[in-house]
């Protein structure tokens, strides 16, 4: 009998990453499509279904090959029915993603928050190395997070656990965050936050800096300048590491994790961020917590999401007993 495949989908505001994945977690075929945001994102599930069918046809496979679909989407997820409670960048209010996706694909589907699936992917096949207690932080345009305790994603009472980017880091005079609060970690540790900090430094100081040669500052330019010994850029990175380290140490003090996995575009700065970050976490964490945790860069890059989504499909669909109608029951419990 031919081995079944899982479908992993990572739904972003610009592109949708998709993959057929083996039950062992290996990507067999990966591809991406543009996110169709017309009419408040109404066409997204149909576009995903059509793309799956097209890829199956290309590979001369039938739908029977597929066991189920796992999808990560931005925004809080209602665990009971797999609906998205609001994804502003897709145009969604409350959107019944699981129901529509199951209808469009004729496959059992499981829905999870996109930062959470990245954490699951890293736990299963990436830098988590099978650690069952870990914090995953994604540093990109924003700051996302996923918290895994005893091998299970923490959802909280209404699906909003793991909002690491919205820990208040600058309580006085902090920048306004997209969430409406002021001084969130996202305003200082995201790519946009790093750019803003650098611009503030440049305007408040007359210190020479390589960054003054550029019209548009990016987080990458700040890290590059710091690596070349630029004092102003190094000061910015130190501030980022301070805020991120303090937030992660406080989280770690509450959770006592084995791993903290740092992913997202900003994490590609490597040791120029990780080295000062490790120092700050060690400084602020309870000593025994600091001894137990290892801070590591994410290993799966852009594939973390599709792999984590596939793991969810495998766990939540495969492990359900056959229902009364002889079909797999879909649920979000463990």
For the entire predicted model, the pTM comes to: 0.84
Q: Of 178, 95, 111, which Cα lies nearest the Cα of 142?
A: 178
Task: Tell me what pLDDT residue 327 has.
Answer: 41
Mark whether 311 and 288 lie in a shared domain.
no
Task: Tell me what pLDDT residue 86 has.
Answer: 77
Q: Of 308, 248, 293, 268, which Cα lies nearest the Cα of 123?
A: 308
Enumerate the H helices of 150-261 as residue ranges: 186-189, 191-204, 219-227, 231-255
Angstrom distance (rounded) from CA 263 to CA 242: 17
The answer to whether the Cα torsion of 317, 318, 322, 325 is positive or negative is positive
Structural domain including 157 reads 127-299
Q: Is residue 182 part of a domain?
A: yes
Q: Could you tell me the two tokens for 300?
A: 């799966």
Mark whether 194 and 58 lie in a shared domain.
no
Q: Is residue 245 part of a domain?
A: yes
Q: Is residue 326 part of a domain?
A: no
Task: Tell me what pLDDT residue 321 has.
Answer: 35
Mark whether 84 and 175 lie in a shared domain.
no
Mark whether 184 and 238 lie in a shared domain.
yes
Q: Which residues pair with 84 in a beta bridge?
A: 77, 95
Q: Is residue 282 part of a domain?
A: yes
The answer to whether the Cα torsion of 223, 228, 233, 239 is positive or negative is positive
Hunting for tokens 């900090």 — which residue is that?
197
DSSP letter at 317?
I
Q: Is residue 334 part of a domain?
A: no
Mark whether 285 and 167 lie in a shared domain.
yes
Q: Is residue 329 part of a domain?
A: no
Mark whether 244 and 147 lie in a shared domain.
yes
Are residues 69 and 101 in contact, defined by beta-carbon separation less than 8 angstroms? yes
Q: Is residue 53 part of a domain?
A: yes
Mark whether 314 and 286 lie in a shared domain.
no
Mark whether 202 and 101 lie in a shared domain.
no
Mark whether 312 and 229 lie in a shared domain.
no
Mark whether 183 and 277 lie in a shared domain.
yes
Task: Tell me what pLDDT residue 316 has.
Answer: 84
For position 196, which CATH number holds? Answer: 3.30.420.40
Mark whether 227 and 151 lie in a shared domain.
yes
Count of structural domains within the chain: 2
Compute mean pLDDT per 10 residues along the chain, 334 residues long, and list them.
Answer: 91 92 95 90 93 97 95 88 82 90 95 92 91 92 91 87 93 90 95 94 92 92 94 96 97 97 86 95 98 95 93 83 37 34
Please compute, for residue 118, the number of CA atoms within 13 A of its CA located in the half-sphere on the CB side: 31
Mark whether 286 and 224 lie in a shared domain.
yes
Q: Is residue 330 part of a domain?
A: no
Angstrom distance (rounded) from CA 214 to CA 191: 17
Task: Tell me what pLDDT residue 2 has.
Answer: 79
Are residues 308 and 151 in contact, defined by beta-carbon separation less than 8 angstroms? no
Task: Tell me what pLDDT residue 1 has.
Answer: 66
């Amino acid at each position: 009998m031919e081995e079944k495949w899982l479908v992993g989908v990572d739904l972003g505001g610009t592109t949708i990453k998709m993959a057929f994945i083996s039950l062992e977690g290996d990507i067999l075929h990966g591809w991406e499509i543009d996110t169709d945001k017309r009419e408040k994102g109404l066409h997204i599930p149909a576009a995903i279904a059509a793309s799956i069918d097209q890829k199956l046809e290309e590979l001369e496979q039938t739908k029977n090959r597929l066991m189920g679909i796992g999808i990560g989407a931005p925004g809080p997820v209602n665990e009971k029915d797999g609906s998205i409670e609001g994804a502003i960048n897709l145009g969604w209010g409350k959107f019944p993603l699981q129901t529509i996706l199951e209808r469009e694909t004729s496959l059992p589907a499981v829905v999870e928050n996109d930062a959470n699936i990245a954490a699951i992917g890293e736990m299963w096949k990436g830098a988590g190395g099978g650690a069952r207690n870990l914090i995953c932080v994604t540093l990109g345009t924003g700051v996302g997070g996923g918290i895994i305790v005893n091998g299970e994603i923490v959802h909280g009472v209404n699906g909003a656990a793991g909002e690491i980017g919205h820990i208040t880091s600058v309580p006085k005079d902090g920048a306004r965050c997209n969430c409406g609060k002021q001084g969130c970690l996202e305003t200082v540790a995201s790519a946009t936050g790093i750019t803003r900090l650098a611009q503030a430094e440049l305007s408040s100081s007359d210190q020479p800096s390589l960054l003054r040669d550029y019209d548009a500052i990016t987080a990458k330019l700040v890290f590059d300048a710091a690596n070349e010994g630029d004092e102003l850029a190094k000061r910015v990175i130190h501030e980022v590491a301070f805020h991120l380290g303090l937030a992660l140490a406080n989280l770690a003090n509450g959770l006592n994790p084995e791993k903290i996995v740092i992913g997202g575009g900003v994490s590609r700065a490597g040791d120029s961020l990780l080295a000062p970050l490790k120092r700050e976490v060690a400084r602020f964490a309870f000593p025994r917590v600091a001894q137990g945790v290892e801070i590591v860069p994410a290993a799966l890059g852009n594939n973390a999401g599709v792999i984590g989504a596939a793991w969810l499909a495998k766990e939540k669909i495969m492990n359900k007993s056959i229902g009364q109608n002889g079909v797999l029951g879909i649920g979000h419990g463990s």
